[in-house]
Amino acid sequence: MLARIYRPAKTAMQSGKAQTREWRLEFEAEAARRIDPLMGWTSGADTRAGQVRLSFASREEAVAYAERHAIPYVIEEPHPLAQRPKAYADNFAHRRRAPWTH
């Protein structure tokens, strides 16, 4: 079973960087999930893929864990975060192209 080592991205509901500094090890699903005919819920027989999520302080710790337990893994590097500095005063600046309105 293949494991994926990655650093989670910031969710759309976050303004800060909480829970984005740790590295995670998750297992990929071996079989497709199936739909329960009675309730319509999706389920699968593989518990490691959907329920096991390990957190590590660094990428090296996650790789060492995977190698110690002979788990094949793939490392996904985090994408660089491009932030543009913004200020509230820029809404009222004279260099603004369109007037600011409510």
Closest CA to 52 of 101, 4, 102, 100: 4
Q: Is the pTM of this model over 0.85?
A: no
In Å, what is the CA distance from 8 to each residue of 65, 90, 94? 18, 32, 40
Q: Does the structure show a pLDDT above 70 at 93?
A: yes
Least confident of 10-14, 58-62, 98-102: 98-102
- H or E stretch at 68: helix 59-68
pLDDT tens for each residue of 1-43: 799 999 988 877 877 777 788 999 999 887 788 888 888 888 7
pLDDT tens for each residue of 70-92: 999 999 998 887 778 888 888 78
CATH number of 3-79: 3.30.160
Domain boundaries, the chain: 3-79
- H or E stretch at 43: strand 42-43
